Amino acid sequence: MTKSDARLPRLEDVAELAGVSHQTVSRVINNHPNVSKATREKVEAAIAELGYRRNTAARSLVTRRSQTIGVLASELSQYGPANTLLGVEQAARDAGYFVSIAALRSVSRDAILDALRHFTDQSVDGIAVLVPHPGTLQILEEFNPGVPVVAVGSLGNDAISGAMVDQKRGAELAVAHLIGLGHRMIGHVAGPSGWVDGALRAEGWRAALQEAGLPQDLLQEGDWSAGSGYAIGRRLAVQRTATALFVGNDQMALGILRAFSEAGVRVPDDVSVVGFDDQPESGYFTPPLTTVRQDFEELGRRCMDIMLKEIEAGAAVSSTVVTPRLVPRASTGRPSTAS
């Protein structure tokens, strides 16, 4: 028999060589967690020996699925959206799906619709949308791509599922921490109001202060960048109104810390500072930054759990919320005027 006549190895051949069932081989290929280490190693050795490659085209003909998830994303220069994308992408791959990414340079109705049409042309099995701006849900609902859609960073609506980190709760945790230390004049350096996350964090700041009977008028708006935080920090160093600041993200907090340092404002002796995100560098700021951590990996897993239930079982539209947690560090302390 010539080489051209040789049959390509099949999943059943891998199962026979490894001495396991074809279902077990499938679990290994799809990274299913319920496989022992020894069994996984046997199957992987058989795959390597036979040179087995999964025939996704044939599988698609049988299942009528492409094993591909479309991910629509924007604002990927920012830490939150970029890491949300990584979380969703990893969760999709762990579930045995390929990922097709469409990154928007500008967020507009036409740009979103073009990306959705691109995904439908690819016959994706589902779409995750990471566009952190109001109005996106309405566009998605109008388009109706005919496959499950999960809005990441939103609760969704009656037609579209959602998966999000509880941004408002994260802000409330930050403010409660500062109130617990004795602060009564707590300002907020917010992200852009046109972002869902920025608006929700500002809402949580207001809610926590209102519940404590504290003033809610110390608000500045930045653009998520360290540069905007620096500019705002220079103004706040002169005003010296607040004894504590809740800052909408760690990047703006970094700029504020530098501005305060240059102006001789001591953190946390003069002003306490709390950020949001818990970037890997936050523990190395001067001083190390108290912040709110978002679990992007868990958010990705929750997104894919919802999507797979809709793809495989026709589950109804649903939503899920990941709870953030406060990470206390050296940038917060009791106000110097506290008794």
Task: Say yes or no: do domains 66-164+296-322 and 167-294 share a fold.
Answer: yes
93 by Cβ neighbours in 10 Å (0-12 / 13-18 / 19+) ranks as middle
5 pLDDT band (50/70/90 cuts)?
very low
| Domain 3-54 class in CATH | mainly alpha
Could you please report the per-residue DSSP string of 98-145?
EEEEEEESS--HHHHHHHHHHHHHTT-SEEEEE--STTHHHHHHHH--
pLDDT at 3 over 80: no
d(CA 91, CA 235): 43
Is there a contact between 47 and 14 (Cβ–Cβ < 8 Å)?
yes
Show me where the domains of the chain are located: 3-54, 66-164+296-322, 167-294
Sign of CA dihedral 21, 26, 27, 31: positive
- The whole-angstrom distance between residue 169's C-alpha and the CA centroid of its chain comes to 16
Closest by CA position to 317, among listed 132, 137, 81: 137
What fold characterizes domain 167-294?
Rossmann fold (3.40.50)
DSSP H or E segment with residue 44: helix 37-50
| Domain 66-164+296-322 class in CATH | alpha beta
Work out the mean pLDDT of the chain and round it to a whole number: 90
Residues 226-278: tens digit of each pLDDT = 999 999 999 999 998 999 999 999 999 999 999 999 999 999 999 999 999 99
Query: What pLDDT is attached to residue 62?
Result: 46
Give the count of beta carbons closer than 10 Å to the beta carbon of residue 115.
Answer: 22
Amino acid (one-letter) located at 168: K
